[in-house]
Homo-oligomer: A and B are copies of this chain.
Amino acid sequence: MAKAITPRETNYSEWYLDIVKKANLASNSAVRGCMVIKPYGFGIWELMQRQLDDMFKETGHVNAYFPLFIPKSFLSKEAAHVEGFAKECAVVTHYRLKNAEDGSGVIVDPEAKLEEELIVRPTSETIIWSTYRDWITSYRDLPLLINQWANVVRWELRTRLFLRTAEFLWQEGHTAHATAEEALEEALKMQGVYADFAEQYMAMPVLRGVKTANERFAGALDTYTIEALMQDGKALQAGTSHNLGQNFAKAFDVKFSNAENQEEYVWASSWGVSTRLVGGLIMTHSDDEGLVLPPKLAPIQVVIVPIPKPNETLTAKAKEIMAELKARGIRVSYDDDDKQRPGFKFAENELKGIPVRLGLGNRDLENGTIEVARRDEKTKESKPLEGIVDYVTRLLDEIQQNLFDRALRFREEHTTYVDTFEEFQEVIDRDIPGFIYAHWDGTTETELKIKELTKATIRCIPQDQPEEAGQCVLTGKPSRGRVVFAKAY
């Protein structure tokens, strides 16, 4: 095996990249900021996609597909939107290459210049709302509940595999409604779907909250977020949904006639999660031995290792167990490579984060036992072969729950309520700062000042926070409730 993973304590950022690379999840590409998602990493993303897609369909959404390119003039139609995206976008200006006359190779053909430049979509509100204009005339056409799985490009200068890349994969929901209430309800509903997905499938506890004006999506009235806490005490924005009000309908002149036959602008929401979630999954559960995956999102949930090597008897028994596990929908594989020793295989399987390893030796078989190793707690026990399939089925659920509980405990241990700026600074300077609940006076000015002094941003105004009179931790001005600060990815 290649050199070991850098321990989290030594260098958290290197630890993360080591896991991404050594577990074969993704790599950098020849194109600046764009990643290659390798088969094992893509397998995790596919499980996420399949589950989210099911959840979107259960809540009444359908999929569609809109163009990759956005005419430059479209981006400009919503003022805040262009402000948010113009500084980091890929611009297509030509549509042909040709051979250089001096034989030096292929060059852009200057005669094939586009009349209007095209932007590679950074998000699709503008192209979609220009389309909705043709689709919507009456309240009978509403609501439109549409999702798209797509690639998008934002020309980020500082990239990190999965967490921030120039191109990434995501889904973007774009819904159209007849009333302001419905659009708001939809935005909240999808935030809820994201939170359920994060907690029940990724085993990653999240806070639900509203973004401040300063952190809001470019063009939204309000942005709802789910925020998770990583093991280095930094927050990860894991998914957002936006109440867009009538902003995009006005920019693209999308009106409908309501039940009273009056013309009105349409109300909108949009919402998205991306391959960034794979980064969040890695950072929530993994350890210094490698990846740790919650069973529901593990491409391989159970691996059977013959000890010390495969033979006819062991392979027959392993295949029997595999068939029974597969019949229950469990993803299982048999590590029958006869060139590697068990110790090597154990380490490889740990690196890949396979939740359960079954070690099957000849002596075990004689005794009617099998060795069961849990990746999450790194424990190992001998169990009766009889009933092993039932046991493993229950164990996968137990591991899923344990990972969530562990991550929740970690978050609780790294959540601090502070009332003075001294305390704030003390907490934010810790090795693992975590979430800080503090009073804030509600101004962008104070928010930015705190960021400047501490690098902490307001992750959200929690939706379940009780009202509580207090004084802003920086300015002492009155506040009606605490907001959540953290350093963030």
Asked if A64 and B36 sit within 8 Å, CB to CB, the answer is yes
A456: Cβ under 8 A from any B Cβ = no
Asked if A29 and B67 sit within 8 Å, CB to CB, the answer is yes
Task: Specify which chain B residues have a CB less than 8 angstroms from the CB of A478 in the assembled complex.
Answer: none
User: How far is it, in angstroms, between the C-alpha of A115 and the C-alpha of B66 when the chains are bound?
Assistant: 30
Task: Specify which chain B residues have a CB less than 8 angstroms from the CB of A86 in the assembled complex.
Answer: 96-99, 106
User: How far is it, in angstroms, between the C-alpha of A93 and the C-alpha of B95 when the chains are bound?
Assistant: 11
User: How far is it, in angstroms, between the C-alpha of A30 and the C-alpha of B121 when the chains are bound?
Assistant: 14
Interface mask (A42-69 → B, CB under 8 Å = 1, otherwise 0): 1101100000000000000011111111
Binds B, one of A12-20, A74-82, A312-320: A74-82
Tally of A interface residues using CB under 8 Å: 62
A420: Cβ under 8 A from any B Cβ = no
Asked if A31 and B92 sit within 8 Å, CB to CB, the answer is no
Q: Which of B71, B93, B119 contacts A91 (CB 8 A)?
A: B93
A181: Cβ under 8 A from any B Cβ = no
User: How far is it, in angstroms, between the C-alpha of A43 and the C-alpha of B74 when the chains are bound?
Assistant: 28
A73: Cβ under 8 A from any B Cβ = yes
Q: Which of B29, B46, B134 contacts A66 (CB 8 A)?
A: B29
Task: Specify which chain B residues have a CB less than 8 angstroms from the CB of A454 in the assembled complex.
Answer: none
Asked if B96 and A89 sit within 8 Å, CB to CB, the answer is yes
Which residues between 103 and 128 of chain A lie within 8 Å of chain B, taking CB atoms? 105-106, 108, 117-120, 127
A34: Cβ under 8 A from any B Cβ = yes
20 CB contacts below 8 A, A to B, read A27-B131, A31-B70, A35-B67, A39-B64, A42-B62, A42-B63, A42-B64, A45-B65, A68-B120, A69-B167, A72-B108, A76-B106, A88-B96, A89-B95, A89-B96, A90-B94, A91-B93, A92-B92, A92-B120, A93-B94
Residue of B nearest to A85 (CB): B97
Which residues between 123 and 180 of chain A lie within 8 Å of chain B, taking CB atoms? 127, 130-131, 134, 146, 150-151, 153, 155, 167, 169
Task: Specify which chain B residues have a CB less than 8 angstroms from the CB of A94 in the assembled complex.
Answer: 90-91, 93
User: How far is it, in angstroms, between the C-alpha of A151 and the C-alpha of B121 when the chains are bound?
Assistant: 13
Q: Which of B43, B71, B97, B127 contacts A119 (CB 8 A)?
A: B97
Asked if A67 and B118 sit within 8 Å, CB to CB, the answer is no
A348 to chain B, nearest CB (A): 14
User: How far is it, in angstroms, between the C-alpha of A95 and the C-alpha of B91 when the chains are bound?
Assistant: 6
Task: Specify which chain B residues have a CB less than 8 angstroms from the CB of A31 in the assembled complex.
Answer: 67, 69-71, 118, 127
Residue of B nearest to A62 (CB): B39
Asked if B90 and A63 sit within 8 Å, CB to CB, the answer is no
Asked if A96 and B106 sit within 8 Å, CB to CB, the answer is no
User: How far is it, in angstroms, between the C-alpha of A31 and the C-alpha of B97 when the chains are bound?
Assistant: 20
User: How far is it, in angstroms, between the C-alpha of A64 and the C-alpha of B167 when the chains are bound?
Assistant: 15
Residue of B nearest to A61 (CB): B39
User: How far is it, in angstroms, between the C-alpha of A66 and the C-alpha of B167 when the chains are bound?
Assistant: 10
Asked if B75 and A97 sit within 8 Å, CB to CB, the answer is yes
A473: Cβ under 8 A from any B Cβ = no
Residue of B nearest to A97 (CB): B86
A449: Cβ under 8 A from any B Cβ = no
Residue of B nearest to A275 (CB): B65
A450: Cβ under 8 A from any B Cβ = no
Task: Specify which chain B residues have a CB less than 8 angstroms from the CB of A67 in the assembled complex.
Answer: 29-31, 34-36, 167
Q: Which of B37, B131, B167 contacts A68 (CB 8 A)?
A: B167
A87: Cβ under 8 A from any B Cβ = yes
Task: Specify which chain B residues have a CB less than 8 angstroms from the CB of A98 in the assembled complex.
Answer: 86-87
Asked if A118 and B97 sit within 8 Å, CB to CB, the answer is no
A55 to chain B, nearest CB (A): 16
User: How far is it, in angstroms, between the C-alpha of A97 and the C-alpha of B155 when the chains are bound?
Assistant: 11
A38: Cβ under 8 A from any B Cβ = yes
A85 to chain B, nearest CB (A): 8
Asked if A108 and B91 sit within 8 Å, CB to CB, the answer is yes
Task: Specify which chain B residues have a CB less than 8 angstroms from the CB of A169 in the assembled complex.
Answer: 65
Asked if A92 and B91 sit within 8 Å, CB to CB, the answer is yes
Asked if B91 and A63 sit within 8 Å, CB to CB, the answer is no
Residue of B nearest to A24 (CB): B135
User: How far is it, in angstroms, between the C-alpha of A65 and the C-alpha of B82 when the chains are bound?
Assistant: 29
Task: Specify which chain B residues have a CB less than 8 angstroms from the CB of A63 in the assembled complex.
Answer: 39, 42-43, 46
Asked if A36 and B131 sit within 8 Å, CB to CB, the answer is yes
A40 to chain B, nearest CB (A): 8
CB-CB under 8 A for A27 and B151, given A38-B64, A76-B106: no
